[in-house]
Amino acid sequence: MDRPARPAREPRRAPAFGAALALIAAAWLPALAAALVVLGTGGPWSNTLRVIVTALVYAPVAAVVIVRGRPAIALVVGALAVQCGWLALAVAVLPLTEPGTVPAALADAVLLFPRLAEVAALCLLPLLLARRRDRLWRAGIAAGIVVVALDATLSLYSRVVEPLPLGVLLVVFYASIGLFVVGTAMLVGEGRAGGPRERAALTWLAVGAALLVAGYLRIAIPLGPTATVLSDAAFVLAQAALPAAVLAVALRGRRIGEHRHLAAGALRVQAVAVSIAAYLLISHLAGLLGASTAVAGAIAAGALALCWVPLMRSLRRRTAELYGESRDDARAVLRRIGAHLAGGGGLTPLAAALRSAWGLQSVELVPDSGAPPAREGSAGAAAVEIELTAGGVRVGRLVLTSDDPAYLRTEIAPVVTEIAGLIAVAVVLADLNIEVAETRERMLEVRREERRMLHRELHDELAPSLAGIGFGMAAAGRLIESGSPRAGTALADVRDDVARRAEDVRRLARSLLPAALDEGDLEGALQELARRFAVDGVRIDVRAAGADVLHADLQVACYLAATEAVVGMRRTAGVAVIGVAVEVASASVTLLVTGDRVDPAVLPALADDVARRARDVGARVRVTPGRRGVEAVMPR
Q: How does pLDDT run across 166-217, given as a tens digit for each residue?
A: 778 788 888 999 999 998 888 888 776 666 667 777 888 888 889 888 888 8
Q: Mean of the pLDDT values across residues 231-255? A: 75
- For 28-52, b where at least 16 C-beta lie within 10 A, e where not — what string? bebbbbbbebbeeeebeeeebbbbb
Q: Mean of the pLDDT values across residues 119-144? A: 89
**CA–CA separation, 330 vs 354, rounded Å?**
9
pLDDT tens-digit readout, 422-446: 788 778 777 777 666 666 666 666 5
Residues in the chain: 636
**CA–CA separation, 28 vs 34, rounded Å?**
10
pLDDT tens-digit readout, 265-303: 666 666 776 677 677 677 777 777 778 877 877 887 787
pLDDT tens-digit readout, 191-201: 766 666 677 77
Q: Is the pLDDT of residue 592 over 90?
A: yes
Average pLDDT of the chain, as a whole number: 78
Q: What is the per-residue pLDDT for 631?
A: 93
Number of H helices, E strands in the chain: 23, 9
Other CB atoms within a 10 A radius of the CB of residue 586 amount to 5
pLDDT tens-digit readout, 5-23: 333 344 445 577 788 889 9
CA-nearest of 78, 85, 83 to 64 is 78
CA-nearest of 35, 23, 101 to 62 is 23
Q: Where is average pLDDT lowest: 372-376, 378-382, 448-452, 611-615? A: 448-452
Strand ranges of the sheet holding 539-543, from the earlier edge strand across to the other edge: 539-543, 577-584, 588-595, 629-635, 620-624
Q: What are phi and psi of 332, to 5 degrees?
A: -65, -40
Q: What is the per-residue pLDDT for 193?
A: 61
Q: What is the per-residue pLDDT for 323?
A: 57
Helical (H) or strand (E) element with 590: strand 588-595
pLDDT tens-digit readout, 400-424: 988 777 667 777 788 788 778 878 8
Q: What is the per-residue pLDDT for 114?
A: 85
More confident position, 70 or 501? 70
Q: Is the pLDDT of residue 310 over 90?
A: no
Q: Where is average pLDDT lowest: 20-24, 328-332, 506-510? A: 328-332
Q: What is the per-residue pLDDT for 350?
A: 78
**CA–CA separation, 9 vs 408, rounded Å?**
19
Q: Mean of the pLDDT values across residues 132-161? A: 89
Alpha helices in 49-165 (DSSP H): 49-67, 71-93, 102-110, 116-129, 135-160
Residue 12 zone, left/alpha/beta (φ > 0; ψ -120 to 50; rest):
beta
Q: What is the per-residue pLDDT for 12?
A: 44
In the structure, what pLDDT confidence band is assigned to residue 452 with cuts at 50, 70 and 90?
low
**CA–CA separation, 555 vs 546, rounded Å?**
12
Residue 292, C-beta contacts closer than 8 angstroms, at least 6 positions apart: none
Q: What is the per-residue pLDDT for 454?
A: 63
CA-nearest of 114, 79, 120, 121 to 94 is 114
Q: Is the pLDDT of residue 498 over 90?
A: no
Q: Is the pLDDT of residue 395 over 60?
A: yes
Give percent of the chain above pLDDT 90: 12
Residue 599, C-beta contacts closer than 8 angstroms, at least 6 positions apart: 572
C-alpha angle 540-544-546 in degrees, rounded to nearest 5: 165
